Every structure is written in C-alpha cells, then in structure tokens.
C-alpha cells in the first residue's frame, strides 16, 4: 500500500456482524499533533453511525502490522477478464470518483466508485459497484484520492464502457459474495484548517427523494422545479417554498423559514441545483414535505451544463468536496435531458397586452402609492412596444435619480406591486438588479378617446405561480449580461428612443432644460458628418454628374429615397479576398445542416483530449440524440463560461443558441475518424453572442481543429473571430450594409452606394439582424435622414464624400458612386 512515511495510525473495522471474511480496513494518517484527535472523532462518528467494532492499530515506519492475507496476489487491470479465476487475487487502485449512495429497486444500498490503476501512468479506470451494507459503509468512508483494495470480487461486463470510456469490465462487490475491502485514506493536506476538521467530520449522506421517511432529518440534492422567492410571511420570518426533483423523478416540496433573508437558498431560476443539509421530513396531506430544521443550510448552483460549479452558500462555512461537484454535474446532465425548465422570461420589448412573465431588470425609482400598493420604476434597456402606464404619485414620494429617470422616461416602466410584496419592495435599493417573477401585463381600455390605451404592469398580491421579487447579485450571469446591455443603451441619447418625428416637435411632455431639445439642434446642420478631408470644398451634383470618373467629391445633398427599404435585405456577407457578396443564410439552412449531422455519432476516441474536456449525454426523447460538448481548456483548466470556447456535436439550433448566451464562443463540429471537423461552410464556423460567423467557401481551406489549442495556450485567449478563422484556415465573411441612396441637391440627382461595415451608421452590420435595439436605432436613423411622407424642403442636409468609379458592363462603361469617410451625426444616432 502507498503510505506516507511519517506517523500513521490504522483503523481496522470489521463489518457485517457475524461475517468473518468481509471486512473494511481503513488506514488513516495525519500529522502528529492532529492525527489522534481527528482519528478519535472519526472513530466516534463511525461507532455512532455504523455501530461497528473499532480497533486502533499502530503502523511503524510505514509498515502495516497487519498485512493483507498472505494468499492474496495483486491482479493487474489488464488481466481482469470475465471467466478468469480471481479467487486469490486483489485489485488495488486510487479512488477518482464516487457517486452518491443510492438504493436499488429492491431497497439494497448501492454505491459506485471509479478506480484508477495506480501502476500505470496512463489513465486507466474501472468502475466498482458495491452493494448492501458494504455500500453504506464505503459511502461513509471513501474520499477521492484514497487507495482502495478489494478481494473476492466478481468481474462482469460493464454496460457503460462505451459511454464512460472506462474498462470493459466492472467489479461487483458485496458482503454476500464474500468480498473484502481495504481502504487507505489520503493524508490531510492542511491538518489545522477549518476544511480539515470538516473533512474528518462524518461524511454527509444524501438521501434520494424517493427514499424519504417521515420524521427524519436528511441531507438532499435536487433540481429546482418550482420556487417562490423569499417573501415576508405572516409570522416572524421570511418564507421560501421550493419544489425539488432528482433522478428518481420524485418531487419534494420544502417550506423554508428564516428571519434572515440570506439564510434562505439563493435560487434565481427553475433548473438551479440545490444541496440542503438538515431538512426535516414530514408527511403532510399524504405527501412528504421538507421543512427547515435547526442548522438548516443550503448551497445553490447554476443548473447549466458546463457552467462552473460555484456554490451560492447560505452560510459562511460549508464543506464542498470534489465528488459533490460530480453530483451537481450529473444532476445538470440529467435535468438537461429529462426536465423542461424554460421559464416564462421576457424582455420589455417582448411584452404583449395579456401575459405573465419573469423580468430581469434594474430598479431606477420607487414610490409609495397607497397602503396596499407600491410603485417600482424599472428598465431592462429594451423598449416596450406599447405605450406604458404611468402611475401618478406625489413628487415628494418618488425616490431615484431625477435626471436618470428623465433620461429613461421612454424606456423605464412602472410596476405596481401589491399587498405582501410591498414590504420587500420598500426595502429595495435604487440601482439594484431584480428579477420580478410573474409580472402581469394588462391592457387598460381608454376611458377617454384622447388617451390611447396603454399597458399596465402589476405584481399581484399572494405568492402563487412563484409571484415575487428576487434580488440578484452583481455577479449573476444574467445581471452581467444586462449590465453590458444597459451600458450600450446609455451610450446613446435615449431621447432618440422616441418614435416621434422629434425634429419638428420637440418634447411636449416636459419642460426640463438639462437635456438638449431637438429644437435646439439647428435644422440646417448636416445629419451626417465627414470623418476626413475637412478642407475639401463642396461640389454640386450637376458638376459631379458631368465629370469623368474616377474622382472624389465632397457634396451636400438630401436623401430622397433609399433601397432596400427592408433592413434585412440590406445586410450581406462580403469576402474581402475574392470580393464577392452573398446573402446571409437563414436559420433554416443551419438547422438543416445540424439535422444532417445527427446521424454522425460522436467518436469516443475524441472525448476529453489534453486541450479540451468533454461531456456527453443522450437525450431522453424518442430520437435518443447524442450530444457532446467539448470545453476548450486554458492551461489545463476550465475557464469561466463567459471566457470559454466550446465545440458541440449533435446539438440542435435551439440548444446552440442557448449555449451562446452563456459561453463566449460556440463552434459546431462533427466527428470524423481521427479528429473533429467543422461542418459544411454553409453553416457558421463560429457563434459568438448573437453573431454567426461564416467562412467563404471559395477562399477557405479548413485546417485541423487541433489548431485551436494554440490559441488556448495564449496568456489570455481573446477568442477573436478573425484569429479563430485564421488558425482554422477559414477566410471569414464580413457582414456589411449594402444600400443605394438617391441623393439630390437641387442641381441634380445621383445614386450612390453605401458599403458599410459599421462606420456610417455606427451600428455593426454583424449585430443588427439579431438585436432589436440596434434595429430600432437603425430605423430611427433612417427616419431622420429620410423622414417618410416629408416634402423635400423639410429633409435634413447630408454632408458626404463620394467617389466615382467606372464599371465595364459588357460593351458599355458606366459610372458608379460610392459613399466613403462619412458617418451619421452623433445627435442622430
């Protein structure tokens, strides 16, 4: 056995009362000062929990007084085969993984561990299935890193070998089969710290939800299927109701109380995963129910497959060990294919007159309305497509930054909260990020014909449907996403969010002077400005039209019309190498390619290579799709999701979009014999945020996907699409606006082409198709440059640079014009 040379003690446990040949032998070691006490605690804990005889044995200079029975010989991993005689053999390995203790259908305890062969430098692992009393005992004792020795095992074919890539056989171990287990525990690394005293405390046992008994206090893991965010109860405490489900498919509703909001689980979404310690189980109305008992503690985890396993704790001190991380990951994978947890989330821009939804937003103002209702002014950066209700409140009651509230007056909406939510609403801090659950939108019919009907936002009293208000921390991924979005919105003047033709009217609704009124903007100023060549003088269009190409001009003209009128028709993909333009493929084409890939099974040989870690699972629907995600590592470590590049095999369009919301980069791939490869180039080679990046079919020469590892080795991989394209041998296509402007200046009219990646509109062409905010901005810009239904005299002037050039079209030459070095004025965008 592998034992450290310094002071060690050994603990011998004979288990299975009456059984002489089935034994668990645990060897514990520790530093001199601490070893004795820790061991004593362990022994006492074991005596209490298992009522087993405990015997302390002394080890001198790393040698065990008690050796393994002399007839036993070590068996190598490669010699484990079905049908061979392993009677006098033992197998030894390091525990690299252990699963939660569960019960089989017949009530037998079952415990599964994974051993790694410690004689071989190559990773070689084997599943060991332990049944009955031995399972229970091992679950209490075993930690990752322990040396595990087993004799008297049965060798059987491993049904999961194909999936987990471990040894083709597994070992079956039980008292009944006459097995013997010897465990050598790993010495503690930090003997005096809090974690160590926790690690020698009795190991927590987690009860599956189908094994709960009335009157017990248990520890649980579960996926949140439903929850009510903490609300003020009628007693002295906050209350939160949480319904969990686990792999047994049994549900448990827990009612949790605490006077301190932070001591309740920090659940933000259905699908989050929780670990509860010390929940009391009671029977209520014929069903099991969980309730807080003394010392209740919880950890909550994001339920997204592949997201970092970072607990949100309800107490300052908690234990969390590697194998628990595995439990969380397994629950995530189970949930991904067995549960549908898509919530009724929506943005303000998605609202309809009659709906209930969850809104993630920032609080910008609040006010007392009356005894039973309270006003929250919130925004999420998007614009509600309907006029919204403004709740009348006394000015002195309104809390919040007045200038900001004025700025956001067209984006912020009033939410009226009622009854039990008032107290919590009052305590909210301006600027905090909230998720308001089950907000109701209601269309108010116009009583007066002069006032158009508007939409009202209500958070009704009561807590059914999980109605309530949750306070999200700044580091919540949804909050981080929202903050980034809000910053973009704030960069632009929200004046322009108005859909009025502001050039002529100004703002009739307020008299504030701290913001520039559109009237103050001189209409004679150009709606576009030049970014260079300021010293050039203007040329009349008549002169331009009568001159030879190629030349460059500065002109002052009005935009009489433009084409195409439909935004999506103006966005194209351009290859700067072969200079061709093509249409942006629609989502169906991508979906079709993905469906075509479903037939290609992921190659197990390509799972978890040195530079990426893979997770594979099978969907539970009739298609039994195999999905594999390969997370690219950085210095052998997984990164935070927002910095992570992943490759996916077998995902649907929807699944891929979902991943792009959490992870920096997503690359759809498929397996071939010896490597992963990109899909057909009609599909995007990369998805980042909302943007699909395509490669030019003509100019690309795809290279091995392994080249990505060179980018991952950089100090801080930026995952720039151009760099990714380069290492993958892809010639990237760029999104570009292509439009035809008909310009007039009273002396003549000419058509000038706009070919713009970003500069002219100050809107990236790559983002506009998937960003409704940018679409609104674009629409407003075009409405300003060329207001529909307006006479020529009323149109704004545009200052532009244009260049003329010749195109030989068959036999005739034609002169074309293109706009350059021009941008829309800052007060227009």
Partner DNA sequence: TTAGGCTTTG
Residues that bind DNA (CB under 7 A): 225-226, 228, 233-237, 239, 241, 243, 251, 253, 255, 257, 259, 282, 284-285, 289, 291, 344, 356, 372-373, 418-419, 438, 440, 442, 458, 460-467
Distance CA 415, CA 790 (A): 38
Shortest distance, position 245 Cβ to DNA, whole Å: 9
Nearer to DNA, 225 or 759 (CB): 225
For the bound state, the minimum distance from the C-beta of residue 311 to DNA, rounded and expressed in Å, comes to 24
CA dist., res. 248 & res. 173, Å (int): 23
Q: How far is the CB of 240 from DNA (least distance, A)?
A: 9
Q: Are strands 154-157 and 63-64 parallel, antiparallel or unpaired?
A: unpaired
Alpha helices in 216-348 (DSSP H): 322-338
Nearer to DNA among residue 115 and residue 264 (C-beta): 264
Nearest distance from C-beta of residue 289 to DNA, angstroms = 6
Asked if 138 and 110 touch (Cβ cutoff 8 Å), the reply is: no
Which of residues 264 and 763 has its CB atom nearest to DNA in the complex? 264
CA-based R_g, the chain, Å? 34
In the complex, the smallest distance separating the C-beta of residue 559 from DNA, rounded to whole angstroms, is: 46
Q: Residue 595: which residues within 8 A CB-CB, separation 6 or more? A: none
Q: Which of 105, 235 has the CB closer to DNA?
A: 235
Q: How far is the CB of 5 from DNA (least distance, A)?
A: 53
Which of 329, 315, 218 shows the shortest CA–CA distance to 265? 315
- Number of other CB atoms surrounding residue 626 within 10 Å: 16
Q: Which is nearer to DNA, 284 or 509 (CB)?
A: 284
DSSP for 674-708? SSEEE--TTS-SEEETTEEE-B-TTT-----GGGH
Quick one: 122 or 234, whose CB is closer to DNA? 234
Is the backbone of residue 663 left (phi > 0), alpha (psi -120 to 50) or beta?
Answer: beta
For the bound state, the minimum distance from the C-beta of residue 264 to DNA, rounded and expressed in Å, comes to 12
412 CB burial (10 A radius; 0-12, 13-18, 19+): buried
Which residue, 215 or 788, is less far from DNA as judged by CB? 215
- DSSP assignment letter at 51: -
Q: Phi and psi dihedrals of 150, rounded to 5?
A: -135, 140
C-beta atoms surrounding 76 within 10 Å: 13
Nearest C-alpha neighbor of 606 from the set 677, 666, 703: 677
Of residues 416 and 829, the one with the C-beta less far from DNA: 416
Tokens, residue 142? 């075993």
Q: Supply the minimum distance, in Å, between the C-beta of residue 249 and DNA.
A: 13
Q: Smallest distance, Å, CB 224 to DNA?
A: 10
**Judged by CB, which is closer to DNA: 464, or 808?**
464
Helix (H) / strand (E) containing 545: helix 541-545
Contact between 110 and 130 (Cβ < 8 Å): yes
Question: To the nearest whole angstrom, how small is the minimum distance from the Cβ of residue 369 to DNA?
Answer: 11
Alpha-carbon distance 290 to 213, whole Å? 11
3-state secondary structure of 821: coil
> Which residue(s) pair with 749 in the sheet?
744
Tokens linked to 198: 């926790």
Minimum distance between the CB of residue 419 and DNA, rounded to whole angstroms?
A: 5
Task: Say if strands 822-824 and 528-530 run parallel, antiparallel, or are unpaired.
Answer: antiparallel
For DNA, the closer of residues 341 and 398 by Cβ is 341
In whole angstroms, how close is the CB of 414 to DNA at the nearest point?
A: 13
Q: Encoding tokens for residue 303?
A: 């339920």
Query: Residue 255 or 726: which CB sits closer to DNA?
Result: 255
Say if CB 168 and CB 51 are below 8 A apart.
no
Q: Which is nearer to DNA, 201 or 444 (CB)?
A: 444
Distance CA 633, CA 180 (A): 40
Q: Give 278 or 282: the residue with its C-beta nearer to DNA.
A: 282
Residue 350 has phi, psi (to 5 degrees) of -95, -5
The nearer residue to DNA, 292 or 300, going by C-beta atoms, is: 292
The distance of closest approach from Cβ of residue 362 to DNA in the complex, given in angstroms and rounded to an integer, is: 23
What is d(CA 807, CA 817) in angstroms, rounded to the nearest whole number?
10
Helix and strand numbers (H, E) in the chain are 17, 41
Are the beta carbons of 458 and 418 closer than 8 angstroms?
Answer: yes
Nearest distance in Å: CB 416, DNA: 8
Closest CA to 268 of 472, 120, 70, 408: 472
Is the separation of the CB atoms in 228 and 295 below 8 Å? no
């Amino acid at each position: 056995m592998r034992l450290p040379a310094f002071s060690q003690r050994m603990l011998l446990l004979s288990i299975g009362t009456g059984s002489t040949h089935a034994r668990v032998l645990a060897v514990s070691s520790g530093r001199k000062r601490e070893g004795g006490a820790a061991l004593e605690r362990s022994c006492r804990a074991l005596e209490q929990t298992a009522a087993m005889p405990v015997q302390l044995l002394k080890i001198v200079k790393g040698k065990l007084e008690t050796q393994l029975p002399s007839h036993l010989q070590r068996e190598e991993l490669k010699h484990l085969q079905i049908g061979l005689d392993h009677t006098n053999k033992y197998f030894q390995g390091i525990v690299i993984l252990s699963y939660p203790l569960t019960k089989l259908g017949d009530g037998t305890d079952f415990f599964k561990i994974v051993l790694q062969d410690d004689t071989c430098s190559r990773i070689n692992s084997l599943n060991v299935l332990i049944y009955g009393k031995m399972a229970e005992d091992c679950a209490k004792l075993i930690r990752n890193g322990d040396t595990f020795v087993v004799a008297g095992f049965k060798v059987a074919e491993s049904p999961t070998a194909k999936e987990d890539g471990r040894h083709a056989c597994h070992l079956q171990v039980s008292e009944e089969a006459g097995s013997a287990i010897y465990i050598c525990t790993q010495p503690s690394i930090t003997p005096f710290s809090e974690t160590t005293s926790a690690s020698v405390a009795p190991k927590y046992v987690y009860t599956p939800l189908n094994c709960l008994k009335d009157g017990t206090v248990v520890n649980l893991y579960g996926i949140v299927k439903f929850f009510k965010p903490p609300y003020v109860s009628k007693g002295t405490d906050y209350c939160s109701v949480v319904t969990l489900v686990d792999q047994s498919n049994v549900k448990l509703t827990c009612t949790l109380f605490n006077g301190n909001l932070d001591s309740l689980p920090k659940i933000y979404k259905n699908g989050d995963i929780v670990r509860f310690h010390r929940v009391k189980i009671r029977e209520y109305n014929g069903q099991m129910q969980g309730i807080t008992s003394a010392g209740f503690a919880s950890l909550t985890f994001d339920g997204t497959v592949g997201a970092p396993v970072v607990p949100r704790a309800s107490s300052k001190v908690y234990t969390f060990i590697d194998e628990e991380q595995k439990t969380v990951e397994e629950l995530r994978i189970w949930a991904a294919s067995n549960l549908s947890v898509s919530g009724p989330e929506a943005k303000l821009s998605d609202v309809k007159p009659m709906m209930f939804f969850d809104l993630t937003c920032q609080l910008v103002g609040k006010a007392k309305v009356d005894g039973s209702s309270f006003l929250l002014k919130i925004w999420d950066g998007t614009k509600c497509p309907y006029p919204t209700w403004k709740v009348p409140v006394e000015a002195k009651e309104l809390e919040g930054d007045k200038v900001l509230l004025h700025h956001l007056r067209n984006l912020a909406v009033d939410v009226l909260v009622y009854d039990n939510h008032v107290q919590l609403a009052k305590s909210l801090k301006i600027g905090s990020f909230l998720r308001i659950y089950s907000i109701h939108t209601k269309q108010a019919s116009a009583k007066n014909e002069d006032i158009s009907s508007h939409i009202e936002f209500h958070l009704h009293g009561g807590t059914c449907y999980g109605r309530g208000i949750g306070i999200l921390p700044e580091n919540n991924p949804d909050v981080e996403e929202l903050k980034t979005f809000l910053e973009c919105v704030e960069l632009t003047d929200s004046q322009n969010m108005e859909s009025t033709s502001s050039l002529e009217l100004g703002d009739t609704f307020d008299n504030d002077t701290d913001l520039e009124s559109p009237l103050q903007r001189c209409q004679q100023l150009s709606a576009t400005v030049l970014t260079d060549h300021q010293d050039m003088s203007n040329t009349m269009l008549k002169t331009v039209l009568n001159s030879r190409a190629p030349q460059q001009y500065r002109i002052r003209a009005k935009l009489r019309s433009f084409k195409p009128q439909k935004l999506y028709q103006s966005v194209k993909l351009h290859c700067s190498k072969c200079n061709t333009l093509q249409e942006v493929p629609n989502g169906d084409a991508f979906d079709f390619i993905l469906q075509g890939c479903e037939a290609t099974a992921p190659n197990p040989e390509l799972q978890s290579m040195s530079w990426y870690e893979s997770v594979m699972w099978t969907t539970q629907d009739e298609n039994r799709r195999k999905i594999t995600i390969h997370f690219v590592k950085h210095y052998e470590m997984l990164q935070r999701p927002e910095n992570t590049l992943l490759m996916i095999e077998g995902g649907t369009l929807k699944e891929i979009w979902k991943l792009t919301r959490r992870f920096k980069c997503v690359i759809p791939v498929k397996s071939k014999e010896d490597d992963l490869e990109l899909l057909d180039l009609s599909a995007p080679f990369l998805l980042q945020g909302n943007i699909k990046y395509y490669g030019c079919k003509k100019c690309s020469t795809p290279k091995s996907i392994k080249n990505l590892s060179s980018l991952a080795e950089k100090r801080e991989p930026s995952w720039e699409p151009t760099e990714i394209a380069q290492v993958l041998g892809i010639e990237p296509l760029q999104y570009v606006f292509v439009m035809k402007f008909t310009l007039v200046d009273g002396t003549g009219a000419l058509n000038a082409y706009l070919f713009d990646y970003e500069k002219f509109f100050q809107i990236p062409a790559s983002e506009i198709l998937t960003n409704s905010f940018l679409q609104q901005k674009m629409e407003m810009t075009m409405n300003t440059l060329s207001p529909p239904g307006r006479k020529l005299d009323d149109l704004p002037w545009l200052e532009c640079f244009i260049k003329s050039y010749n195109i030989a079209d068959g036999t005739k030459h034609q002169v074309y014009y293109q706009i350059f070095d021009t941008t829309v004025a800052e007060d227009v965008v």
